[in-house]
Amino acid sequence: MAPQTRRMTFPNVVIERDTDSEPSSSDEEEEEEEVEEEEEKVVENKNEERMEEPLEAKKKGKTPITISLKKVCKVCKKVGHEAGFKGATYIDCPMKPCFLCKMPGHTTMACPHRVATEHGVIPAPRRNTRNPLEYVFERQFRPGVLRIKPAFVIPDEVTCAVIRYHSRRITCLEFHPTSNNVLLSGDKKGQVGVWDFGKVHEKMVYGHIHSCIVNNMRFNPTNDDSVYAASSDGTISCTDLETGISLSLMNLNPDGWQGPSSWRMLYGMDINSEKSLVLVADNFGFLYMVDTRSNNKIGEAILIHKKGSKVVGLHCNPVQPELLLSCGNDHFARIWDLRRMEAGSSLYDLAHKRVVNSAYFSPLSGSKILTTSQDNRLRIWDSIFGDLDSPSREIVHSHDFNRHLTPFKAEWDPKDPSESLVVIGRYISENYNGAALHPIDFIDISTGQLVAEVMDPNITTITPVNKLHPRDDVLASGSSRSLFIWRPKKSELVEQKVERKIVICDRAEKKQSRKYGNKSDDSDDDKFTSKGKKLKSNKPEWKLTRCSGKVKR
DNA sequence: AGACAATGACTCC
DNA sequence: TGGAGTCCCTTGTC
């Protein structure tokens, strides 16, 4: 029989069979299985390039097989090691820099940042050591911010409601400004979902507003029922959530598709309520302003980032809305004064090593800056009045770029009076009782400490989109096409007033049989597909999962 | 179970 | 400046 080669991903496997001894069974499938077994043996048997069929196999009367193979790493293509999942644990390629901190010389498993997120982080100073002028400014600017940080209130257990009505991955989330149980979600296809998670079945999906990625949404500050959205189709929409009627404020591609070099996409967006402006930025580095009263574009587009680079984030300072923060693919976050907007006139340029996925002023005082960069670092500037040449702190955290994932963005907890609690999804998985899970991390940005990891053993996908509720103890997450609402189990919040690290994962055993879980199990997930293929009318379109917690000190 | 596709940052030339 | 090639702990579908 001719030599067989198997799977392209398993290179250099050559099986030679002696021609004078026919197999006892000629069944192709059985042969295949035998070969599989032999491969396993060889792989386990150290690293030999060529080896003979073990003697016992010959004794058993099996066909003598000679196998030549090498252990080849799928990452660096070198022999002698293999990268990839071993059960629920990912083994790094030792030839590559650490997947977490990006430094050479160690793997993710041995990375000091993996063991302790605060590794190498210098905590924020307790006393104000800046000069008197800055102090006066700061007192005016941040009246409500507590000097002494209260302990975080983190539950031991949470419940998680899951719903799936998006047909493409979720790209952005927004809580309704006044209706506590309403969550808006945008997806890659351009659909906008409105979910009343207080009433299970109350959901609405608007599919006609945009034709591709919804990159950012903001509620109209003067009308709770209308929401603005910026999309890669090059338009800004304003949608009335009651009627579903949507109007387009601006269209950057009036002549339709003329090729990728001219197609403009809108990414960053924010609203300046003082000036009644919608600010948007495109994939070529330009900022546009639209008056929300007349729906007219104001002035010409202004180049605010490197020409031809994507501007992914815009944020107006919550206290001083004339201050604008932008960030983008040119590796910079920039601070601007809206009263003097012209190319090159930024007040500060905050340098990063890679693309900056998000840059936000702190939600209460507006005096801190938090950025998420694709170099796996969160950067914090403690005061916009202080030294902005370098960040006050860099926290190594796994939130790499992957083209198939919505970019990760660290989000402030708008309820934290000390402006130090931040939520962000984690890219790399951890082996939790045999399941590879990607938790949602709560990080104290004043120390770099991981305060809590939130996870559900049923949720095996990465959760890059997260938003904390402005008033309630609610976390909304977008993971692939699913939406989650996490809430603490009632009765627990009062008891737990200590700062601690919590792991919510004690049901992970359930997934032990699974190699590593990206595919849905026998759960109800499939019933929620947009195509409605497996949708059964008598089944609810959501599920509540209880996750009991375990405290790790 | 495996193949495949969707598709973005980055480097090199 | 742009095109080709590479990166290589995704996710869902067929």
Give pLDDT tens digits for A522-553: 233 323 222 223 322 222 233 333 333 332 32
Closest-approach nucleotide to residue A401, Cα vs C1': B9
Task: Please give the model's pTM, rounded to 2 decimal places.
Answer: 0.81
Q: Could you report the per-residue pLDDT of A484-510, keeping only the tens digit for each?
A: 999 887 655 544 443 434 434 333 222
pLDDT of residue A44: 38
Distance A10 CA to C4 C1' (A): 26
Phi and psi of A59, rounded to 5°? -60, -35
Greater pLDDT, A40 or A374: A374
* Residue where the block lists tokens 């990375």: A111
CA distance A141 to A130: 15
Point out the nucleotide closest to A404 (alpha carbon to C1′).
C10
Nucleotide C13's nearest residue (CA vs C1') is A519
pLDDT of residue A507: 35
pLDDT for the residue A43:
37
Q: A188 beta carbon < 7 A from strand B?
A: yes
State mean pLDDT over A306-312: 96
* Closest residue by C-alpha to C1' distance, nucleotide C12: A519
Which of A24-33, A136-145, A457-466, A534-543 has the least mean pLDDT? A534-543
Nucleotide nearest to A328 (CA to C1'): B9
Provide the pLDDT for residue A130. 61
Report CA(A84)–C1'(C9) in Å, whole number.
7
Check whether residue A310 has its CB closer than 7 Å to nucleic acid strand B: yes
pLDDT of the residue at A27: 36
Which nucleotide's C1' sits nearest to the alpha carbon of A307?
A: C1
Whether CB of A127 is under 7 Å from strand B: the answer is no
Q: How far is the CA of A339 from the C1' of C1 (A)?
A: 33
User: Which percentage of chain A shows pLDDT scores above 70?
Assistant: 71
Protein footprint on strand C: which nucleotides are under 7 Å from a CB?
Answer: 1-3, 7-13
Q: Is the CB of A374 under 7 A from strand B?
A: yes
**Separation of A354 CA and B9 C1' (Å):** 9
Which of these ranges, A25-39, A287-301, A468-482, A504-518, has the smallest mean pLDDT? Answer: A504-518
State the nucleotide closest to A188 in CA–C1' terms: B6
Instruction: Convert the pLDDT of each residue in A387-398 to its tens digit.
Output: 999 999 999 999
Strand A170-175's sheet: what is its strand order? A170-175, A182-187, A192-196, A203-206
Strand partners, A314: A326
| Residues facing residue A479 across a β-bridge | A482
Token pair 């103890």: residue: A473
The lowest-confidence range among A70-74, A80-84, A329-333, A531-535 is: A531-535
Decide if A421 contacts A392 (C-beta within 8 A).
Answer: no
Residue A19: the pLDDT is 32
pLDDT of residue A550: 32
- The answer to whether A2 CB sits below 7 Å from nucleic acid chain B is no
Residues constituting chain A:
553
CB A543, CB A523: distance < 8 Å: yes
A355: which nucleotide lies closest, measuring CA to C1'?
A: B9
Say how far residue A457 (Cα) sits from the centre of its chain.
18
Q: State the pLDDT at residue A500.
A: 39
Neighbour-count burial for A323-361, b at 16+ CB within 10 Å, e otherwise: bbbbbbbbbbbbbbebeebeeeebebebebeebbbbbbb
Q: What integer pLDDT is reported at residue A191 of this predicted model?
A: 96
Compute the mean pLDDT over every residue in chain A, rounded to the nearest whole number.
78
CA→C1' distance for A439 and C8 (Å): 22
User: CA-to-C1' distance for A254 and C1, Å?
Assistant: 25
Q: With a cut of 60, say whether residue A353 has pLDDT above it.
A: yes
Q: Is the pLDDT of residue A29 over 70?
A: no
> CA-to-C1' distance for A452 and B10, Å?
33
pLDDT confidence of residue A257: 86
The reply to whether A329 has its C-beta less than 7 Å from any atom of strand B is yes
Strand stretches in A286-373, DSSP E: 286-291, 296-303, 311-316, 323-328, 332-337, 348-351, 356-361, 369-373
- pLDDT at position A34 is 37
Span A331-352, average pLDDT: 97
CA of A527 to C1' of C4 (A): 42
Q: Nearest residue to nucleotide C10 when comparing alpha carbons to its C1'?
A: A404
